[in-house]
Amino acid sequence: MNPPERGTELTVRISVLGTGYLGATHAACLAACGHQVVGIDTNPAHVKRLATGRAPFQEPGLDRLLAQGLRAGNLSFSTDYDAAAAAEVHFVCVGTPQAEASEAADLSALWAALESLAPLLVGPSLVVGKSTVPVGTAARARHLIRRIAPGGDSVELAWNPEFLREGHAIEDSLRPDRLVFGVESNEADLTLREVYAPVIAAGVATVRTDLATAELAKAAANVMLAARVSLANLFAEVCEAADADVGDLTMILGYDARIGSAFLTPGIGYGGGCLPKDTRAFLARAQELGAGEPAKILREIDAINLRQRARTVDLAVSVLGGSAAGANVTALGAAFKAGSDDVRDSPALDIASRLHSLGARVRVSDPAALRNARRAKPELLYDDDAISACSGADLVMVLTDWADFQSIDPVALLDVVAAPRAIDGRLCLDPDKWRAAGWELHALGRRSAAGPG
Ligand SMILES: NC(=O)c1ccc[n+]([C@@H]2O[C@H](COP(=O)([O-])OP(=O)(O)OC[C@H]3O[C@@H](n4cnc5c(N)ncnc54)[C@H](O)[C@@H]3O)[C@@H](O)[C@H]2O)c1
């Protein structure tokens, strides 16, 4: 997507703290909007790569925007927090993963970033949280910054949650569905409007609210999305028991204008660096706030999601005749979703790994995520080419809904596999086409699928 047209907007000096999937995209997009942007990250390898105009992960269009900003001289990257000192607005984009010992969010990177930044804030400035955090974090962050910053109360805090989707990050940043400004003053609201002036001028809606509601906006959005996927997967299991077809069922539901079809695809479930941990963090925070009782539904949403992985492994074992030991299994897909190279909490890679643990020889192919997958699961076999990855396979499993896999010719694939057996873990293949080609095609919740047991 092209950057928005620049009008007579002001150039704002901005720092972006944390330049991962969110921060690198945000920095590049703000530079494309004409601002002077420095990205700060504690990972030197990351910074080195970004400084040459290459993102450390795959995101369509990002390398082009990075190169453009670097060339124009209004985008730079550094590991040194001092480089952020001249900025008027500081966006905090560090990771907030699940804590190792609990379901809550690990906010250590957030506190570390704020502690590094705060001593540099000698005069009026705006610190803007973008990371996804449990409600109440912003108020603590405000307290911490004002305690440490030489500028004291002249430093303001705002929360501006980010809703971008990996694989669509640039268009989602430059043309989001809405911009949420959690602010405590008109000045903070105005500053954010200056920063986002070209985006707002393009017609994007803005919602001004308080800090807590802004924090919740992102967490609640992810809970809603997770709930829809898990409902679709609940329907899949009931369909199997009732001899109904979940593909038809979710299509019928999707036509209902009140329901819609997005995030209603059953399959191996959701994953990635956001939905699983954000759902758990929401539950953990609700419990802390005394709202744990109604939030118990989130435990079920998570359990249904994880259950799909186990059920897919059971289905594979059943299709293989009761044992995976010694079988050649091809997993088409490692990324947690198509369009990304992200394998964080990827259901595809988890299923591949579980089958490996059961004694299968698992070969994985993915158009973008093999480098990350190799690092995360070195015990699996990898092949850049999807067709050769299927060579000699007793079972082919489509686990990420890449267009490359959906367009595989099932007739031609017959020539390379040992047995024409496939599992469609994403309900993304054309069942008639595959079956007409002679394939035994299985999917959780599909009428003619042979379920486990
Ligand atoms: N990935 C997405 O699609 C997405 C979308 C919306 C919101 N979010 C949220 O954005 C946040 C970041 O997610 P991400 O996917 O970009 O994570 P990420 O792991 O890709 O990036 C985090 C970056 O922060 C850096 N970092 C850690 N500690 C730091 C510090 N003290 N100072 C500076 N940099 C530091 C890391 O080196 C890393 O590069 C999370 O809260 C996530 O939930 C992510």
Residues near 156 by beta carbon (within 8 Å), at least 6 away in sequence: 124, 125, 126, 127, 183, 184, 185, 187, 188
Q: Is the CB of 43 under 6 A from ligand 1?
A: yes
| Catalytically annotated residue among 29, 33, 93, 274 | 274
pLDDT at 414: 98
Q: Is the CB of 45 under 6 A from ligand 1?
A: no
The residues pairing with 13 across neighbouring beta strands, listed in sequence order, are 36
pLDDT at 1: 61
Q: Is the CB of 132 under 6 A from ligand 1?
A: yes
The token pair that represents 403 in the structure block: 């267009």
Q: Is the CB of 96 under 6 A from ligand 1?
A: yes
Mean pLDDT computed over 71-99 = 98
User: 169 and 148 in contact (C-beta within 8 Å)?
Assistant: no
Report pLDDT digits (tens) over 133-187.
999 999 999 999 999 999 999 999 999 999 999 999 999 999 999 999 999 999 9
From the options 3.40.50.12780, 3.30.2130.10, 3.40.50.720, 3.30.465.10, give the CATH code of 223-442: 3.40.50.720
Sign for the CA dihedral angle at 25, 29, 30, 36 comes to positive
Report pLDDT digits (tens) over 400-430.
999 999 999 999 999 999 999 999 999 999 9
Mean pLDDT computed over 346-359 = 98
Residues near 352 by beta carbon (within 8 Å), at least 6 away in sequence: 329, 331, 334, 362, 364, 377, 380, 397, 399
Q: Is the CB of 112 under 6 A from ligand 1?
A: yes
Mutate to test the pocket of ligand 1, among 16, 22, 177, 222 (most ligand atoms within 8 A of CB): 22
Length of the chain: 453
Q: What angle do CA 27, 29, 32 make, to 5 degrees?
A: 110
pLDDT at 450: 42
The token pair that represents 346 in the structure block: 């990827």
The residues pairing with 440 across neighbouring beta strands, listed in sequence order, are 421
- Residue ranges matching CATH 3.40.50.720 in the chain: 13-209, 223-442
15 CA from centroid of ligand 1 (Å): 14
Atom of ligand 1 nearest to the CA of 46: 39
Sequence letter at residue 24: A
pLDDT at 308: 98
Q: What angle do CA 127, 13, 197 make, to 5 degrees?
A: 85
pLDDT at 449: 44
What rounded mean pLDDT belongs to the chain? 96
Q: Is the CB of 93 under 6 A from ligand 1?
A: yes
pLDDT at 446: 86
Three-state SS letters, the chain: CCCCCCCCCCCCEEEEECCCHHHHHHHHHHHHCCCEEEEECCCHHHHHHHHCCCCCCCCCCHHHHHHHHHHHCCEEEECCHHHHCCCCEEEECCCCCECCCCCCECCHHHHHHHHHHHHHCCCCEEEEECCCCCCCHHHHHHHHHHHHCCCHHHEEEEECCCCCCCCCHHHHHHCCCEEEEECCCHHHHHHHHHHCHHHHHCCCEEEEECHHHHHHHHHHHHHHHHHHHHHHHHHHHHHHHHCCCHHHHHHHHHCCCCCCCCCCCCCCCCCCCCHHHHHHHHHHHHHHCCCHHHHHHHHHHHHHHHHHHHHHHHHHHHHCCCCCCCCEEEEECCCCCCCCCCCCCCHHHHHHHHHHHCCCEEEEECCCCHHHHHHHCCCCEECCCHHHHCCCCCEEEECCCCHHHHCCCHHHHCCCCCCCEEEECCCCCCHHHHHHCCCEEECCCCCCCCCCC
Q: Is the pLDDT of residue 275 over 60?
A: yes
Query: What is d(CA 144, CA 152) in angstroms, rounded to the nearest whole number?
Result: 10
258 CA from centroid of ligand 1 (Å): 34
Q: Is the CB of 113 under 6 A from ligand 1?
A: yes
**2 vs 76: which has the higher pLDDT:** 76
pLDDT at 239: 96
Q: How confident is the model at residue 99 (pLDDT cuts 50, 70, 90)?
A: very high
Mean pLDDT computed over 296-306 = 98
The token pair that represents 107 in the structure block: 């906010």
Please state, in angstroms and as integers, the Cα–Cα distance from residue 200 to each residue in 6, 15, 22, 157, 207, following that order.
11, 20, 20, 21, 11
Report pLDDT digits (tens) over 238-273.
999 999 999 999 999 999 999 999 999 999 999 999
pLDDT at 10: 85
Mean pLDDT computed over 56-78 = 97
Instruction: Say which CATH superfamily domain 13-209 falls into.
Output: NAD(P)-binding Rossmann-like Domain (3.40.50.720)
172 CA from centroid of ligand 1 (Å): 17
pLDDT at 5: 57
Query: Residues of 245-260 as b/e, b for ≥16 C-beta within 10 angstroms?
Result: bbbebbeebeeeeeee
Q: Which residue has the CA at smallest separation from atom 1 of ligand 1?
A: 21
Q: Is the pLDDT of residue 452 over 50?
A: no
Q: Is the pLDDT of residue 341 over 90?
A: yes
Q: Is the pLDDT of residue 298 over 90?
A: yes
Report pLDDT digits (tens) over 4-47.
555 556 899 999 999 999 999 999 999 999 999 999 999 999 99
Query: What is d(CA 180, CA 218) in angstroms, rounded to the nearest whole number?
Result: 9
92 CA from centroid of ligand 1 (Å): 9
pLDDT at 177: 98
Give yes or no: 29 in active site.
no
